[in-house]
Amino acid sequence: MKHYDYLIVGLGLAGVAFCEQLQKSNRSFVVFEDSSQQSSKVAAGLYNPTVLKRFTVAWRGPELMMKSIPMYRELEKKLQIQIDSQRSIWRKLNNVSDQNNWLVASDQPGLESFLESEIAESSNASVHAPFGFGVVNQTGTIDTRQLVAAYASDLKNKGLLRETSFVYEDIVEEETSLMYQSIRCKHIVFCEGYGVKKNPFFNYLPLKGNKGELLVLKAPNLNLDVILKAGVFVIPLGEDCYKVGATYNPMNKDSIPSREAKDDLLNKLLKLIKTDFKVVSHVAGVRPTVVDRKPLVGRHPKHKNLYILNGLGSRGVLIAPFAAQSLFENIENKKALAAEIDIQRFSDAALAL
Ligand SMILES: Cc1cc2nc3c(=O)[nH]c(=O)nc-3n(C[C@H](O)[C@H](O)[C@H](O)COP(=O)(O)OP(=O)(O)OC[C@H]3O[C@@H](n4cnc5c(N)ncnc54)[C@H](O)[C@@H]3O)c2cc1C
């Protein structure tokens, strides 16, 4: 029989962030991961504390930046990987009204440190933007695929990763601990992304899911070194390759690349860039989105040693470290969760359990 403080189900961004909390606090744990979901493996990895559609600050944007980016930098050192690429985002302005709105927003308290007040012109002949760009600073991307792979490999080397599906029916609840097959643990934390739909303990929560798809292009003459945002993001990857994405489809919940999404991305891309390119890959995944667009964090209303860390939506890079730390402090130090992330806000739905 093996004894651990925690058993974690799922090793996407949520699982990685929670395991980091555990490692830093010298708690023992084991992770189950079955590769049934792809969100963290296919994500564009953008971090941006603003909302470019409305020119506003994102929910807890600056605070999340201060919590999350240092964690990724620590992981770079620990795992000997390079995952953080800081680059400005250039948001295409579509008309004079867009330009005016940008200038007003760039002067707003809370936004002025991120949005540049001058409208930028692109000297890149391959880029079509007659009304210029608004530039957002302190932004960039985390290579989430590389992060999750390196983290999994590190856990595997330490004997802490079981590459198999977690079987919910095998949980046996005892007075102060839990048994799962040949494991005894104090707590189980479910970090399953959209996979939570199969979890009989937490599938009462209103997680909706939103399929997203991305392309990788090779465009030898594009020569971009910033991230462009128009209908789509264009993110430089190096060696003339670019990520282009993403689509949002709340109806479909599979992780299979579709012709329809590819056409949609290419149509939007062709309004922004004028140069030859070749599509080299196409990926899809399901974002764990929630009706009120806030994370799902906390303890099960009836099963006191079962917890959830989910609902990271389309901003998992920034939210995961904050949500993981909040849950850890809640479990270990009884620190209250922020009401907006606590699953207690759905206590009406829990009444039917
Ligand atoms: C196309 C696309 C682009 C995106 N771009 C961005 C972006 O630019 N910036 C950003 O911040 N976010 C982005 N996101 C969102 C981001 O990917 C998610 O917020 C984040 O990855 C969710 O992480 P997670 O760990 O909660 O879920 P997941 O990544 O889905 O991880 C859950 C893990 O649990 C495992 N699992 C599930 N059930 C079981 C089980 N029963 N047993 C064992 N293992 C199980 C799955 O295999 C999976 O690995 C994007 C998402 C998509 C799809």
Q: What is the DSSP string of 307-336?
A: EEEE--TT-HHHHHHHHHHHHHHHHHH-PP
Nearest CA to ligand 1 atom 30: 193
- Average pLDDT, integer, range 20-26: 97
Confidence tier at 48 by pLDDT (50, 70, 90): very high
Distance from C-alpha of 279 to C-alpha of 302, rounded to nearest angstrom: 49
| pLDDT at residue number 308 | 98
| pLDDT at residue number 348 | 81
Average the pLDDT over each of 42-51, 53-62, 126-135, 327-336 and give the range with the smallest value. Answer: 53-62
How many whole angstroms from 38 Cα to the centroid of ligand 1? 6
Confidence tier at 332 by pLDDT (50, 70, 90): very high
| pLDDT at residue number 53 | 83
pLDDT at 353 over 90: no
Distances in Å between the Cα of 232 and the Cα atoms of 56, 70, 74, 347 are 19, 28, 30, 37
Give the alpha-carbon dihedral of 315, 321, 323, 329, to 10 degrees.
-170
| pLDDT at residue number 252 | 95
Task: Tally the residues of the chain.
Answer: 353
How many whole angstroms from 191 Cα to the centroid of ligand 1? 9
Buried-exposed string 330-348: b where 16+ CB fall within 10 A, e elsewhere: bbeeeeebeeebbbebbee
pLDDT digits 0-9 by tens, 220-278: 999 999 999 999 999 999 999 999 999 999 999 999 999 999 999 999 999 999 999 99
User: CB of 327 closer than 6 A to ligand 1?
Assistant: no
State residue 288 phi and psi, 5-degree precision: -85, 85
pLDDT digits 0-9 by tens, 190-229: 999 999 999 999 999 999 999 999 999 999 999 999 999 9
Distance from C-alpha of 322 to C-alpha of 57, rounded to nearest angstrom: 17
- Average pLDDT, integer, range 167-182: 95
Confidence tier at 349 by pLDDT (50, 70, 90): confident
- Best substitution site from 39, 201, 309 to test ligand 1's pocket, by max atoms within 8 Å of Cβ? 39
- Enumerate domains of the chain plus CATH numbers: 2-42+145-207+291-350 (3.50.50.60), 88-138 (no CATH), 210-287 (3.30.9.10)
Distance from C-alpha of 142 to C-alpha of 82, rounded to nearest angstrom: 9
User: CB of 34 closer than 6 A to ligand 1?
Assistant: yes
User: CB of 32 closer than 6 A to ligand 1?
Assistant: yes
- Beta carbons of 47 and 69 less than 8 angstroms apart: yes
| pLDDT at residue number 151 | 98
- Stated as kind and residue range, the H or E segment containing 287 is strand 278-287
- Best substitution site from 7, 21, 40 to test ligand 1's pocket, by max atoms within 8 Å of Cβ? 40
Distance from C-alpha of 233 to C-alpha of 165, rounded to nearest angstrom: 34
User: CB of 37 closer than 6 A to ligand 1?
Assistant: yes
pLDDT at 352 over 80: no
pLDDT digits 0-9 by tens, 92-144: 999 999 999 999 999 988 898 899 999 999 889 999 999 999 999 999 999 99
Q: Which ligand 1 atom is at minimum distance from the Cα of 309?
A: 26
Confidence tier at 347 by pLDDT (50, 70, 90): confident
User: CB of 14 closer than 6 A to ligand 1?
Assistant: yes
How many whole angstroms from 200 Cα to the centroid of ligand 1? 19
Mean of pLDDT over the chain: 96
Please give the distance of CA 279 from its chain centroid, rounded to a whole number.
24
User: CB of 285 closer than 6 A to ligand 1?
Assistant: yes
- Using CB atoms within 10 A of its CB, is residue 120 exposed (0-12), middle (13-18) or buried (19+)? middle
pLDDT at 175 over 90: no
User: CB of 35 closer than 6 A to ligand 1?
Assistant: yes
- Average pLDDT, integer, range 316-342: 98
